[in-house]
Amino acid sequence: MNPSLQARESAIIPLVATQTHVDKEGYFVEIASNTQASICNSAADAPYGIILNGAEAGQQSSIGILGALPGTYRVKLGAAITNLATKLQLRADGTVGPDTGAGARVLVGAPCELGTADEKIEAALFAPIVFLA
């Protein structure tokens, strides 16, 4: 590979927060207005990335692009994870919980540890997998 073609070491980019992202690290976001990040507000959203360093509305948050991040990251749980074999499913508030295994849903990663609602746990993230029904 030609090293001059590599733009950055990791897929973490600055995007303008449409609402406050302060204390929202680990929440999932979608693209709003081309260059802005909005916290996912539907379990059917296909998230673009995860907030790694949140900023006030109108300021730039650091967003990790799903499917292009190396390593593991902390994600915000909206429901308990009690089995490492389950995948992480997006919830309507931008957090994740256990995969329900049926119906329309979006999967975003695999847990590396167990946790309760409102905790942040370590997870291996992947590009969103969207199930329509």
Contact 89, 43 (CB under 8 A): yes
**pLDDT, average across residues 20-41:** 96
Higher pLDDT, 12 or 10: 12
Query: Which of 61, 62, 30, 72 minimizes the C-alpha distance to 47?
Result: 30
Say which range, 1-5, 37-41, 64-68, 119-123, has the weakest mean pLDDT. 1-5
> Is residue 129's pLDDT more than 90?
yes
DSSP 74: E
Average pLDDT over every residue of 120-131:
98
- Judge whether residue 28 has pLDDT over 70: yes
**Mean pLDDT estimate for the chain:** 96
Output the pLDDT for position 1: 57
The pLDDT value given to residue 92: 97
Closest of 91, 26, 101, 94 to residue 61, by C-alpha: 26
Domain range list for the chain: 11-65, 73-131
